[in-house]
A = this chain, B = another copy of it.
Amino acid sequence: MSEMTEVTVMSELMEYVKRVSDATNEALERVLPAESVYPSSIHKLMRYSSFAGGKRVRPCMVMAAYEACGGAFGDEKALKAAAAIEMLHTFSLIHDDLPCMDDDDFRRGKPTAHKAFNEALAVLGGDALCILAFEVLASVGRIDVISEIAVALGTGGMIGGQVVDIESEGQKADMATVEYIHMNKTAALIRASIRCGALLANAPADTLKQLTSYGNNVGLAFQVVDDVLDEESTTETLGKDAGSDAEKGKATWPSVMGIEESKRYAGELIEKAWADIEFLGAKGKILKDLAEYIRVRIS
């Protein structure tokens, strides 16, 4: 792709991301209790963390998959699922940042929940976002979507990845362990976002299968890129302590295959993701651009 075309793709995609982000924020605004609702402190925390400047990657995945499978942009059920998945992502960040876990003071350039409030409220606020997400998902009325997300979050998914991530700290993890951590900690919820969009649009089984593979490839690429950015960026551009993964002896892709090889691997995963959705043709354009967007961050 020429540089000129790349810029055009990105500006079109950025507009899409902005539209999803705005719609997701409106949905979150509707489902999160107001700060004034008793007990106020926890609702303040839930809103503080939910509106802390996340890029809404997962809502974009839900909506792009929903549209690619014939759904209309902004349909209530897809928006509710997007908002619920974003709340689940926020819940995982709040708990990951706790002193007994990654012990991070900053996230997206702002104090983490337990710093801005306190530890007890951060634990309960994370719990409450997780529970509210299932309440919102129940209001969509699709058992298959609830099941999909619960499985992706559990010990065979996101939580399992986080357990191994923490237990591998300072252990010089091998490649299989790094892959396990990121397939579960990061890719599982991204894959579930894609699959939920497709399920809500009642996509046929073979489409779901291809999108599942796309979700795994994009999800893994996302984490490889994140690790590279953590290694290469300054604290200022990243909004959190740069190089903090390496300092903590975290199992990262650069730590097992080096920076250059990590970049090459991310590119390879994106190519695979593109191949997965080639059958969608023009309907897959946003999904294709989303994958490219992930790669461009480190190119």
Contact = CB atoms under 8 A, between A and B. Distances in A.
B100 A128 contact: no
Nearest to A102: B120
Contacts of A138: 143, 146-147, 150
Interface of A is mostly: helix
Contacts of A93: none
B150 A42 contact: no
Given A41-B167, A100-B123, A128 B155 contact: yes
B135 A42 contact: no
B120 A101 contact: yes
Contacts of A146: 134, 138, 146
A67 B33 CA distance: 36
A151 interface: yes
Contact of A39 (B135, B141, B164): B164
A39 B167 contact: yes
A149 to B, nearest CB: 8
Copies of this chain, complex-wide, total: 2
Given A134-B134, A135-B151, A154-B132, A163 B121 contact: yes
A219 B49 CA distance: 33
A23 interface: no
A273 interface: no
Nearest to A145: B138
B159 A135 contact: no
A234 interface: no
23 contacts: A33-B155, A37-B155, A38-B160, A39-B160, A39-B163, A41-B163, A95-B123, A95-B124, A100-B118, A100-B123, A101-B123, A124-B162, A127-B127, A127-B159, A128-B155, A130-B130, A131-B153, A131-B154, A131-B159, A134-B150, A135-B147, A138-B146, A138-B150
